[in-house]
Chain A
């Protein structure tokens, strides 16, 4: 955009043509997608760093949530989505509670993760959860040790969830199939095995 707009200022226009001031990798649509999914005005971030300062993951890794906020504004889609640190947010919402611009950086991260999944970028453990829920209705299913313990407590061996009423599982599968979620998870997992 900077390259086509004229400002009537030769010095400024020369600067704007200097590629060290901008990158062709920028995708403005990225910011719009992030804003839509996160339902927060991510473009309002003024880079104060309160989010990174509040973050329990920051002191023990290279994860900087402020950086992701900036990459969103600059439309640096590939850089943001390919960064493995994107998956180190525990979603504790401390940054969101403290943001002086009243934004939700946590939801920006969640939106970027959603967008990464569209490019098949997603850690395996997330996909395993998808498969477990698809097959049993539960992300953490029952097991034999636990069944025995439940019976001792006077509870039914399986809880009154999809475990006792498996007839509800096809409904869950239909909802997930509507978005092709299981199909995509299976495909990404099997491609990773080659």
Chain B
């Protein structure tokens, strides 16, 4: 079995391990059943946050992201990760430094201070793109791994921003109405639902959540109104920061705007974990601000 496993350095980021550890546990266990082994990327730090950190000085953002990439280069392993924000930092900086000699030389000048060098010898993947990629896993394999289908539930997809956009610097194609995430949701036995403006931002990024919480939540609220309209039982995403914004954000929205939604928000790996037979306890769903029980009870 071990011989057939593809190995990746698992870049954790901040919010998954430090706020929603169920995402981390689920990613490791569910991927193992799909032939993907996630190994710890020792000493990694913040990606660092592309909006909050890149806004201050992009040069430091390049250098700190490069430090994380070099840790994986030293392991001679591609990176995989489970957060769109991390994807923006790690994937994009890896891509830019591979193609821009001037920036790469600048970064390597700084990295020399800590005895490191960016070589450009590895690739970076979001775990969800590995799941969708037939060469690595594919939707069929995901479907075959399901032992407890999520039949009877209606699940909406939130793609998030930094995985797909800007599309001219990515490889995911259409960003107006993509449907590949829905395929992965339906592979779990659930029904995927469409809703208005599904590609809109969650509202948290760019440091806006910290800068103007009410403004940020107002964007989230618009998404929640659209989700309520189609009667989604749960929302799924591939970004723990979006998850935090939708999950804890609902509590803040109730306080600020007096509107209660009670919409469970689960990372795709948490959903996959449930479908592969993991219990809510094994996924630490009790750490979610919004109770997931109504969703769990819908599963027939």
Binding site for B on A (CB under 8 A): 37, 56-57, 60-61, 87-94, 96-97, 102, 104, 106, 110-111, 113-114, 117, 122-123, 125-130, 133, 137-143, 146, 149-150, 152-155, 159-165, 167-169, 171-172, 174-176, 178-179, 181, 185
Contacts and interface: CB of A to CB of B under 8 A. Distances in A.
Contacts of A110: 54-55, 58
Given A88-B212, A97-B175, A178 B110 contact: yes
A181 B18 CA distance: 25
Interface in B42-56: 42-46, 48-56
A172 B204 contact: no
B161 A171 contact: no
Given A56-B203, A88-B211, A175 B165 contact: no
Contact of B218 (A60, A142, A160, A169): A60
B2 interface: no
A89 B208 contact: yes
B48 A174 contact: no
Interface string B56-73: 111110011001000000
Contacts of A185: 56
A144 to B, nearest CB: 11
A122 B56 contact: yes
Q: Closest 6 interchain pairs by CB?
A: A125-B210, A137-B45, A168-B43, A92-B201, A159-B17, A93-B165
Interface stretch (B20-28, B227-235, B260-268, B291-299): B20-28
A149 B51 contact: no
B207 interface: yes
A146 to B, nearest CB: 6
B21 A155 contact: yes
Contacts of B63: 175, 178-179
25 contacts: A56-B203, A88-B208, A90-B161, A90-B205, A91-B51, A94-B199, A94-B200, A111-B58, A114-B55, A122-B56, A126-B55, A137-B45, A140-B15, A142-B17, A146-B19, A146-B287, A153-B282, A159-B12, A161-B42, A161-B45, A168-B45, A169-B45, A175-B63, A181-B56, A185-B56
B101 to A, nearest CB: 14
Given A90-B206, A92-B201, A117 B25 contact: no
Contacts of A175: 60, 63-64, 67, 110-111, 113-114
A32 B116 CA distance: 32
Contacts of B48: 129, 133, 139
B18 A138 contact: yes
Nearest to B10: A160
Given A123-B211, A162-B43, A165-B43, A153 B22 contact: yes
Given A133-B45, A139-B14, A140-B19, A94 B165 contact: yes
A130 B53 contact: yes
A178 B41 contact: no
A172 B58 CA distance: 15
B210 A128 contact: yes
A57 B203 CA distance: 8
Given A129-B52, A133-B45, A171 B67 contact: yes
Given A87-B211, A167-B43, A185-B56, 20 more contacts: A56-B203, A87-B206, A90-B203, A93-B162, A111-B58, A113-B56, A117-B56, A129-B52, A129-B53, A133-B48, A133-B53, A138-B18, A139-B46, A140-B15, A155-B25, A169-B45, A172-B67, A175-B63, A179-B110, A181-B56
Nearest to A102: B168
A37 B165 CA distance: 19
Contacts of A162: 43-45
Given A96-B165, A159-B12, A114 B17 contact: no
Give the residue among B199, B210, B222 with the most A Cβ atoms within 10 A.
Answer: B210
Contacts of B24: 155, 159
A122 B110 CA distance: 24
A155 B18 CA distance: 12
B211 A178 contact: no
B73 to A, nearest CB: 15
Contacts of A140: 14-15, 18-19, 46
Contacts of A37: 58
A129 B14 contact: no
